[in-house]
Structures are given as structure tokens and as C-alpha cells.
Amino acid sequence: MSHLGCLTITSDTIEQPLLLIQGICENLGLKMGMNLHLAINCAAQDLMDYNKGKYEVVTGMYKNATEMIDLYVDLINKFPSIVALIDPFRKEVTGFTLNLMTKHRIKSHSLGPVI
């Protein structure tokens, strides 16, 4: 449990927690995207390895900001119930949040600085 009261789990892939939530919803008879929507707190500033200049999205997997756009697009395409990405990039990285939203025409909302 995080200091904010959020469930924190360790996973081997970025999709694992979402698949877990999806399975729980199915067991409860809930339809993701209708009965349940997801807002993902990406907390990009906490994922950043400043020595490498990349985000460590899963232990040992590093991605630059452009690769993060592809990762987010892929996740949203796989899990259309994601309606918001909170802090998808660290605030010092300018333009990428807007690029994520406009260039790829994502139908979700990004909560975080659009610089």
C-alpha cells in the first residue's frame, strides 16, 4: 500500500495488473469500459532513471519519452477502459503529453502538465 492508500503490486509485465483487474471484473459480472473505467497514475517522475535518461517501466526495461508514447498507445488500445493517464511524463519533458494526445488521437485524458 502506498502512502496515498493505493494498492501497489509487483508484476513481470506492464499489462499484468490490468489483466488482474479485468479478471476480477469478469468474476463480479462487471464490464470494463461500461461499469468500470480506469485512470492510471503513471507517476513518470518516479519511474525516471536520471543516470540513464530513461523511464524504467518494468525492472530492467528502459524507455525514452518517444517510446513511452508507443507504450501508452498500446496499453490504451489493449485496454480501452483506460480513460485517463495521470502524469504520463515528468514535467520537465515538454510537448510529449500533448503529442500523446494529438498525434495519436487518443480518446483518453492526460492529467499533468501540457507544456
pLDDT tens digits, one per residue of 83-113? 888 888 887 766 666 666 665 555 545 555 5
Map grid coordinates 483487474 to a residue. Answer: 21
Q: Averaged over 50-66, what is the pLDDT?
A: 91
| Backbone Cα Rg of the chain | 14
> Could you give the CA distance from residue 108 to residue 82 in angstroms, rounded to a whole number?
7
Task: With a cut of 80, say whether residue 7 has pLDDT above it.
Answer: no
Pairing of strands 61-63, 82-86: unpaired
Question: Alpha helices of 29-108 — where are they, by DSSP H?
Answer: 44-47, 65-78, 96-102
Task: Check: pTM over 0.95? Answer yes or no.
Answer: no
Can you point out the beta strands (E) in the chain?
38-41, 48-49, 54-58, 61-63, 82-86, 109-111
Task: With a cut of 90, say whether residue 63 has pLDDT above it.
Answer: yes
